[in-house]
Amino acid sequence: MGRSAAFFDLDKTVIAKSSALAFGRPFYRDGLITRRDVVKSAYAQLMFRLGGTDEQTMARTRDYLATLCKGWPVEQVRQIVAETLHELINPYVYAEAAALIEEHQAAGRDVVLVSASGEEMVRPIGELLGVTDVIATRMGVVEGRYSGEVEFYAAGPSKVDAVGELAGERDYDLADSYAYSDSYSDRPLLECVGHPSVVNPDRALRKLAAENSWPVLEFRHPIPLGRRLRERPAVPVAAAALGVGVGVAIGIAWYGRHRRTRAAAPTA
């Protein structure tokens, strides 16, 4: 018998939004993306969410991600994430997810964040949560800029490949390990462990959970880290149990609408 681990999807499972979308506003502000990217990104994200584990859909999404990021300075991306992390991510961490992560850590399990978002985003979010192990999308880099190639796309079956590789290195017993996700596209991840749970599931995943008698968790309380520390214990995970990255379009659209609203408001 090996050790056990807990694998958490990130977007809408640990945080109440898309990690990639969360940084849309500062990426737009600093000139990394344009208004023309809004429609393209919206389509890419919609296809990813609807397509699930369809290989062709994931390939198109991966290729679009590579094209979008090509030429971006890696250090600029890291700086944007570092400067805006506490503003854009910290307030949206589910208290229930934070408590569950702490429970697994207290039980001696390694916790691993597994996300299709870029490693430059996922690793700092992990550090915010006290999680050092991440599996995330890795982009090729040439002379400090993204090359337009994707070295590893952490989506669908590829997540399972990376989980299996890590399990081999760490001697994890996957039959005694846990996984959490909100999306049907993570079916392979959930099926590769002995203790899968679905969090705020989409319709297809809720149906799959019912067919397999998997626990369904509803996380509803995003709370900033400072408040979680002051108000321990956090919302009990047991009370939440009932039987949750690619693109930047929504963030940009919100930002543009917000700017237009402010510009149109009458001045005193």
Question: What residues act catalytically?
Answer: 9, 11
C-alpha–C-alpha distance, residues 136 and 116, integer Å: 6
**Does 233 sit behind a cis peptide bond, omega within 30 degrees of 0 on the bond before it?**
yes
In sequence order, the β-bridge partners of residue 145 are: 73, 142
Task: Decide if 13 contacts 218 (C-beta within 8 A).
Answer: no
Task: Using DSSP, state whether 227 is helix, strand or coil.
Answer: helix
Listing DSSP states for 103-127 in one string gives HHHHTT-EEEEEEEEEHHHHHHHHH
